[in-house]
Amino acid sequence: MGRENHSFKLAVRPEADVVPGKTFKLETSPAPTAEELKDGEVLVEALYLSLDPAMRGWLNDTRSYMPPVAIGETMRGAAISKVLASKSSKVKEGDLVNAFCGWTEVAIVNEEQFEVVELPKGSKVTDALGVLGLTGLTAWTGLEHIGKPKAGDTVVVSGAAGATGSVVGQICKIKGCKVIGIAGSDDKCAWLKEELGFDAALNYKSTSFREDFKKATPDFIDLYWDNVGGEILEMALDRAKFRARFVMCGSISGYNAPGKESKGIRNLFQVTAQRIHMEGFIVFDFAQDYARGRKELSGWLEEGKLKRKETIARGGLKAADQAFLDLFQGKNTGKLLVEIKPYEKA
Ligand SMILES: NC(=O)c1ccc[n+]([C@@H]2O[C@H](COP(=O)([O-])OP(=O)(O)OC[C@H]3O[C@@H](n4cnc5c(N)ncnc54)[C@H](OP(=O)(O)O)[C@@H]3O)[C@@H](O)[C@H]2O)c1
């Protein structure tokens, strides 16, 4: 008998939080095999699945930067995967690829759906999804093209202890900025200050947060990196310097309440009053720069200037839906991954 495969399919569109065991259905089916491969395709086995806040948006049937996942479709996602068989000249059996294979154990992907994993000195396999993957590249490209941090700038980063925010803050420190991180626990704030070298870190769940934010920005903000939207964005608008830059990367506080995040911004007039440059982007916009970004990020990693943390949910693919909910409850520090199968070096 052939191998069994497990995949998470979208069962119902959530109206608020995803509900483990209900939003997605774990299905069992025969795994695809090498005999089914067409030219240019590879058969892969997923090892580490990336969990990203953006995935919540893909569950809504609304206009966005990519179409929603259809009901009954395998949940979309990327995983570091091992090549089991190949009909592509780019890879051979045993190679590692970053495959856009979805929430599944075994899949067939074509050359447009995978990238060969390169592991520069000082890196490990899971970095290909974190600091050297799309989250690290989001930080790098958003700063390179929009934020443009300069020495002496006061930078505020929300979602600072997450995968993207922790890289944003560290790059800004490397560039000589004063960096203030905002995160959801004292432990995360301690990590930002003591290990990553942020100048200050504020816990947005503290009762004194509003006052702390004001005190931490006496000279106002040159650059605000927004990962969360909502009330924290409002506070940042009120502390923006004349001609501040606002990099609009994400708005996680509103993802589980679609539509509410934009209604919540009550002081958008500050964009006009302070002539703020506010720009949104999607990392794919800068795909032509990934190689340059990876080179710089891996150099900093090797030199020890860039640190990273990851939170790995174990228990195989079936741990994915609960872990995905955990992302919205701030249970991760750094990049959140699901270990589908541990990586064993050949
Ligand atoms: N534009 C792009 O191309 C692009 C690419 C990648 C990511 N993003 C965006 O970047 C942001 C961060 O993504 P990531 O992958 O790096 O995830 P992440 O920051 O590693 O994880 C999400 C974090 O968000 C925080 N959070 C959850 N609910 C929140 C709320 N209501 N208010 C404030 N913080 C909340 C939690 O930390 P706390 O404990 O601090 O609450 C959680 O750990 C997201 O908005 C995402 O959509 C955008």
CATH number at residue 247: 3.40.50.720
The atom of ligand 1 lying closest to the CA of 333 is 43
Residue 212's pLDDT is 98
Q: How many domains does the chain have?
A: 2
pLDDT score, position 257: 83
Q: Nearest residue CA, atom 37 of ligand 1?
A: 330
Mean pLDDT of the chain: 96
Residue 77 lies in a domain: yes
pLDDT for the residue numbered 263: 61
Kindly state whether residues 122 and 141 are assigned to the same domain: no
72 and 170 housed in the same domain: no
Which of 163, 159, 215, 205 has its CA nearest to residue 182?
A: 159
**CA of residue 161 to ligand 1 center, whole Å:** 9
pLDDT at 112: 96
Do 261 and 194 have their domain in common?
A: yes
User: Which of 234, 252, 253 has the most ligand 1 atoms within 8 A of CB, as the residue to mutate?
Assistant: 252
Question: Do 59 and 123 belong to one domain?
Answer: yes
Boundaries of domain holding 235: 134-284
pLDDT band per the 50, 70, 90 thresholds, residue 264:
confident
**Segment 159-187, tens digit of pLDDT:** 999 999 999 999 999 999 999 999 999 99
Query: What is the predicted pLDDT for the residue at 260?
Result: 54
The DSSP 8-state label assigned to residue 253 in this structure reads G
Q: The tokens of 149 are what?
A: 């941090």
Is 300 inside any structural domain?
no
pLDDT at 7 over 80: yes
Query: Inter-axis angle of helices 163-174 and 290-303, to 10 degrees?
Result: 70
Do 150 and 216 lie in one domain? The reply is yes
With tokens 């944003």, the residue in question is 168
User: In this predicted structure, what is the pLDDT of residue 30?
Assistant: 97
Fill in the DSSP letter of residue 145.
I
Q: Which residues are CB-contacts of 219 (< 8 A; sequence separation ≥ 6)?
A: 154, 241
**Mean pLDDT calculated for residue range 18-45:** 98
Beta bridge partners of 180: 156, 200
Query: What lines the ligand 1 site, CB under 6 Å?
Result: 52-54, 135, 138, 159, 161-165, 183-185, 188, 227-228, 249-253, 281-283, 327-328, 330, 332, 336
Inter-CA distances, 26 with 50, 76, 284, 321, Å:
17, 14, 29, 9
- 239-259 burial by CB neighbour count: b if 16+ within 10 A, else e? bbbeebbbbbbbbbbbbbebe
316's tokens: 């195989």
Look up the CATH number of the domain holding residue 69.
3.90.180.10
Of the pLDDT bands very low, low, confident and very high (cuts 50, 70, 90), residue 344 is confident
Average of pLDDT values for 331-341? Answer: 98
Return the ligand 1 atom nearest residue 284 CA. Answer: 3
Inter-CA distances, 276 with 179, 217, 236, Å: 19, 17, 11
Mean per-residue pLDDT for 203-220? 98
